[in-house]
Structure 1
């Protein structure tokens, strides 16, 4: 890498692709080719694939370059290691497409991942599309228990915001975004749970979304991944991320989802506290986390968000994402009938 700066391979084709797919790459040599092959096999072909090598110390840089040599739609960015947020941000800086999609480098996409979401978004005039996803193990085998959490449905902004307390709405993948949603937005760097921090900001910009029922994204459960590490002070980023989500709901007047958003803040701050050392419990970061919880609690009461119906929604959300989404649909239907 010359002078420590990013190096970017040029896309051979002239003109703006319809979709840019951004894949941050770091120490996934075992799974990377499977991920790349699933993207290059898409039935929708007008895309560029941006592989961002985040200074990976294994054979990933060579695998990325090999992919670029065999398919002109592939562009490769080689950069110094800075974390997944810096990699996604580098991809966003380089993206040329009218639409943006993200895929994690140990995951795979179904052949119609792009085609079905792109078609649905255009037909419904939505600012982004979101599809159902399922979990696979390290061998690529589909794990039991997958649920179709999304329906083929149109979601105005208010309904999108209500649903972002569900994990499917908190991750960057399983979605296709209009470029304008991400303009001048970047993932927070040096933060854990950066997805949950940024997604509410994106949704606050979106006038509408559309759901796609099909399982189009395969999320791989990998032992030792970033989502399965021990509790440290860094885990308090989870509290901050959920507070950011809570704040977007509060600022947009979505009172009926505030209980569901406050619950993870309350449970996380005390669960993390219990797993920290006595010295860590006295740290400024721990005090900051308690301040987030306190502010959220005061705002919840101020907004009069604590009602039996809203408490029930929070319980349902904690127990079953699918049931919570069904509850959101039923309540939306009732609101439409009364307007």
Structure 2
């Protein structure tokens, strides 16, 4: 079984050798390694060519800069493997990552294998992290529907380097990453999960995710927030088209997400000069109203405490746009009080199900 490893490369000359070395050193040897030089202005193009001279499994694609999605799409087009795996060029992978993923595929007759990851600093120092994605300690076998629900509930992260997938999941469904936008993983993760036959999650740390200042999503901006909303819309559109029975689940999850937004976070976003645009604020309010109406039309009940939190959120956005005036502390205190009641309600619901 040939595994294609796709590595988009841009302005990572400090980390690229370490990344490629970790791929070349895989205990599973039947690899096709595609280094996609996305018009990098530093020494990355030469570093890629040097690696291709050392290892005949490596092919280099030099292309004009088009962004991460464009680079991934270029690699995906050229990939010929039975399985596809993406690696970010400033990260590293465990020596047995591909071996363990392929072995798990064969053992469980799965076409999508997910694993855990840890975090490292720019200087390779291990960092403490607490991702819900890693919060399991036994092998989990899931249907596509179960995987989608877990992803929407943030129990599975959207990182494309956190799983290895059979190539037909991409090749047979016209898959491509959205070019010209960020948050591309969230926009397409459910397209992969939804086209799998069987998903297996293994409790093994096989990827080392580097947190650094220069990464694409290291800083928030108004445009990044808009890209996030587009990604959420893309994800929802795919799920509702492919799995229409999940419509009620999706509506409630979105309302729950908005209900959990912290008023303090909104305040800090404004004071940090992220500036909530009035048009964005209006769209947020309209989106909440649409979701509520969809829930009412479908006959699905929205918990009263969630409704209260949503009203508070809409009020808080209005106040943020108006520079918060004089009632920040009062609304924040109410927010905390109602949020506590909402969490108790959700805990009781889970207890009743058990």
TM-score interval (norm. to shorter) = 0.7 to 0.9
Q: Relative to structure 1, is the Cα distance of residues 206 and 190 closer, same or farther in structure 2, using a 3 angstrom cutoff?
A: same
Please name the residue that 2:196 is paired with: 206
Please name the residue that 1:122 is paired with: 106
Please name the residue that 2:28 is paired with: 44
Which of 289, 293, 299 matches 1:298? 293
RMSD, aligned α-carbons: 3.4
Q: Secondary structure at the match of 1:52?
A: strand
Q: CA deviation at 1:167?
A: 6.6
The answer to whether the 8 A contact 1:135-1:146 is kept is no
Please name the residue that 2:332 is paired with: none
Which of 97, 106, 121 matches 2:90? 106
Which deviations, in whole Å up to 9, do the C-alpha atoms of 1:111-138 show, x marking residues without a partner? 1111111111221122200001111111
Q: Relative to structure 1, is the Cα distance of residues 280 and 262 closer, same or farther in structure 2, using a 3 angstrom cutoff?
A: closer
Q: Secondary structure at the match of 1:134?
A: strand
Which of 138, 142, 145 matches 1:155? 142
Q: Secondary structure at the match of 1:117?
A: helix
Q: In structure 1, what is the Cα distance between the partners aligned to 2:96 and 2:43?
A: 29
Alignment of 1:241 with 2:237, yes or no, is no
Does 142-151 or 229-238 show the bigger shift? 142-151
The answer to whether the 8 A contact 2:221-2:274 is kept is no
Which deviations, in whole Å up to 9, do the C-alpha atoms of 1:174-199 show, x marking residues without a partner? 11111111122100111111111111
Please name the residue that 1:260 is paired with: 253
Please name the residue that 1:33 is paired with: 17
Number of corresponding residues: 302
Which deviations, in whole Å up to 9, do the C-alpha atoms of 1:213-248 show, x marking residues without a partner? 100011100113211223223421111212333444
Q: Relative to structure 1, is the Cα distance of residues 205 and 297 closer, same or farther in structure 2, using a 3 angstrom cutoff?
A: farther
Which of 160, 164, 171 matches 1:172? 160
Please name the residue that 2:213 is paired with: 223
Does 100-109 or 132-141 show the bigger shift? 132-141
Which of 166, 177, 193 matches 1:187? 177
**Equivalent residue runs for 1:291-330 within 5 Å:** 292-303=287-298, 304=300, 306-307=302-303
Which deviations, in whole Å up to 9, do the C-alpha atoms of 1:281-337 show, x marking residues without a partner? 255x776665555444433444426359999xxx99xx9xxxx9xx8xx97xx7xxx
Q: In structure 2, what is the Cα distance between the partners aligned to 1:182 and 1:92?
A: 8
Please name the residue that 1:11 is paired with: none
- TM-score normalized by the length of structure 1: 0.78
Please name the residue that 1:12 is paired with: none
- TM-score normalized by the length of structure 2: 0.75
Q: Secondary structure at the match of 1:44?
A: coil
